[in-house]
């Protein structure tokens, strides 16, 4: 008996094998955009922010990525305040600098500027104790593409149900 495994589930299994803990995913990203390519970026965080991320208190729902060709920033991600931080709380919605190679930043900047692509955060995960963001180079879907995605998801669900799930 074969079990249908989605692309996200295959990716999660691969990440577990590499000792990576996924903290948050942007589920709307794959529905709203065609992801062309993904990149890994580190995040510049304060002490209370990394502690909140380790507890899974981060949301990428309204987040996007902005670049000027020199630097790259995560904008709109919400990291909940850490209760035990005392008076030195961080701003939950502040812009956070991402760490990437200059060559990658220039490539992303050119793709956004010339081809009209969009940069979106697809997931946040912990790799060797450090928080990383998966940056997706994406192109927006039209309404009929979204309907096709819903149809494919329903077909996969039916197939999984028939296979004994």
Structural domain contains residue 59: yes
- 63 secondary structure, DSSP code: -
pTM for the model: 0.75
Q: Give the model's pLDDT for residue 33.
A: 87
Structurally, the chain folds into a number of domains equal to 1
Query: Residue 18, by phi and psi: left (phi above 0), alpha (psi -120 to 50) or beta?
Result: alpha
Query: Which tokens go with 103?
Result: 């060559």
Residue with the larger pLDDT of the pair 15 and 71? 71
Q: How sure is the predictor about 1, in pLDDT bands with cuts at 50, 70 and 90?
A: very low
Tell me whether residue 74 is exposed, middle or buried, using C-beta atoms within 10 angstroms of its C-beta: 0 to 12, 13 to 18, 19 or more: buried
Structural domain contains residue 3: no
In the predicted structure, residue 88 carries a pLDDT above the cut 50: yes
Structural domain contains residue 28: yes
Asked if 34 contacts 136 with a C-beta cutoff of 8 angstroms, the reply is no
Structural domain contains residue 104: yes
- For position 61, which CATH number holds? 2.40.280.10
Q: Give the model's pLDDT for residue 16.
A: 64
Asked if 95 contacts 44 with a C-beta cutoff of 8 angstroms, the reply is no
Range of the domain at 60: 18-160
Q: How sure is the predictor about 122, in pLDDT bands with cuts at 50, 70 and 90?
A: very high
How much is the CA Rg of the chain, to the nearest whole Å? 18
Q: What's the rounded Cα separation, in Å, for the pair 35 and 32?
A: 9
Structural domain contains residue 13: no
């Amino acid at each position: 008996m074969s079990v249908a495994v989605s692309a996200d589930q295959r990716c999660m299994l691969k990440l577990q094998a590499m000792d990576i803990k996924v903290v948050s995913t942007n589920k709307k990203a794959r529905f709203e955009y065609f992801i062309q390519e993904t990149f890994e970026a580190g995040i510049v965080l304060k002490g209370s922010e990394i502690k909140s991320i380790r507890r899974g208190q981060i949301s990428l729902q309204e987040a996007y990525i902005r670049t000027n060709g020199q630097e790259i920033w995560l904008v709109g991600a919400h990291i909940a305040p850490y209760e035990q931080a005392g008076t030195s709380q961080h701003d939950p919605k502040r812009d956070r600098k991402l760490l990437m190679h200059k060559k990658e930043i220039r490539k992303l900047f050119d793709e956004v500027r010339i081809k009209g692509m969009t940069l979106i955060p697809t997931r946040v995960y912990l790799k060797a104790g450090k928080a990383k963001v998966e940056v997706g180079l994406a192109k927006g879907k039209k309404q009929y593409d979204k309907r096709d995605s819903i149809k494919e998801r329903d077909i996969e669900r039916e197939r999984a149900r028939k296979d004994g799930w």
